[in-house]
Amino acid sequence: MTKTISINQFRVKIYDTRAEMGFCAADEAAAAIRGVLAQKEECNMIFAAAPSQNEMLAALAAQQGIEWNRVNAFHMDEYIGLAPDAPQGFANFLRAAIFTKVPFRSVNCLDGTAASRDPAAECARYSQLLRRFPVDITCMGIGENGHIAFNDPPVADFDDPALVKPVALDEICRNQQVHDGCFATLDDVPTHALTLTVPALMHAAQVFCVVPAATKARAVRDTLLGDIRTACPASILRRHPAATLYLDADSASLL
C-alpha cells in the first residue's frame, strides 16, 4: 500500500516495505530518464552512495528500455584520503552497485586521492564537469543529521557559490557510517570529504530522494515539518519544484 502526501510542493510517498519503496522509486526515476532522453541527446545524473540506496539502485539497474549509453553519471561526495581500492569509497560503492552494471555513456567520479594532495584542484576539475554536463536528475538520500550529500548542518549553505567543496564531517555524520556498517569504529571514519554543494544538487530538474529505516525517522520529520533552514539541510527540498521523497514505514514513523 502507498500513501502519498504533499508538503509545500514536495511530494512524499510512503510504502509498507523498504523493497517496495526502492522498486517504486527506481520505476519513477527510470521514467524520468526516458523522458529526458525523449527531449535531449543525453541525460546527466547524480547518484548517492549509501546502503539506504541499495534497493533503488538494484531495481534501477534492472530496468529495461533505458538507453544507458546516452546517460552521463556523477556522484555527490567522496572521502578524502581513503585508499583508492577501499570498499567504503563512494565511487567504489557505486561502481559495484550500478556504474559497472549498465553501459553508461560516461562515469565521472570524484577522486579522493587527488583531493588529499590538492583539494582545490580536484574541486575545480569536477566543477568544470558539472558545468559542462548540467544535471537533469539527482538520486539522493538524507543523513541522520539531515544532511544531503556531505552538506552537514555546520557547513551547509543554501546559497553556496561553489559547486564542489571540501568539508569537515560532523560527529553525527561520521557515526552514521558506523551505524550503516561501513566502518568498524568512529576512529576509522575519515574526518574530511569532498561534497557537491546544496545548489549543485538542487540544480537538477528532478530529484528522487530515497530514505528508508528507523534511524532516519527524526531527520525525515525535521525535513518535512521543521523550518527550512541549514540546521536540517534536507529541508531545502521543500522548495524544489519537482522533488519526490520515498519512505518506508520505519522512516515515516514520526510523521
Q: For the segment 46-55, what is each residue's pLDDT rounded down to a tens digit?
A: 999 999 999 9
Q: Write down the pLDDT at residue 172.
A: 82
CATH number at residue 240: 3.40.50.1360
Give the strand order in the sheet containing 77-79.
77-79, 192-196, 164-168
pLDDT at residue 237 above 70?
yes
Which domain does 58 fall in, by range?
3-214+236-252
Identify whether 22 is part of a domain. yes
Q: Poorest-confidence range of 127-136, 168-177, 222-231?
A: 168-177
Identify whether 145 is part of a domain. yes
Identify whether 42 is part of a domain. yes
Q: Distance between CA atoms of 19 and 3, rounded to whole angstroms?
A: 15
Give the mean pLDDT of 211-225.
97
Identify whether 228 is part of a domain. no
Identify whether 148 is part of a domain. yes
Q: Write down the pLDDT at residue 24.
A: 97
Give the mean pLDDT of 227-255.
97
Determine the 3-state secondary structure of 28 from DSSP.
helix
The one-letter amino acid code at 108 reads N
Q: For the segment 24-54, what is each residue's pLDDT rounded down to a tens digit?
A: 999 999 999 999 999 999 999 999 999 999 9
Identify whether 175 is part of a domain. yes
Domain count for the chain, please give it: 1
**Which residues, 6 or more positions from 33, have their beta carbon under 8 angstroms from its beta carbon?**
43, 45, 66, 71, 137
- What are the backbone dihedrals phi and psi of residue 104, each rounded to the nearest 5 degrees, phi first? -60, 155
Bridge pairing between strands 77-79 and 137-140: unpaired
- Mean pLDDT (the chain) is 95
Q: For residues 111 and 122, is the Cβ–Cβ distance under 8 A?
A: yes
The one-letter amino acid code at 42 reads E
The dihedral formed by the CA atoms of 128, 132, 137 and 138, expressed in degrees to the nearest 10: 0
Whether the full predicted model's pTM is greater than 0.85, yes or no, is yes
Identify whether 166 is part of a domain. yes
Identify whether 227 is part of a domain. no
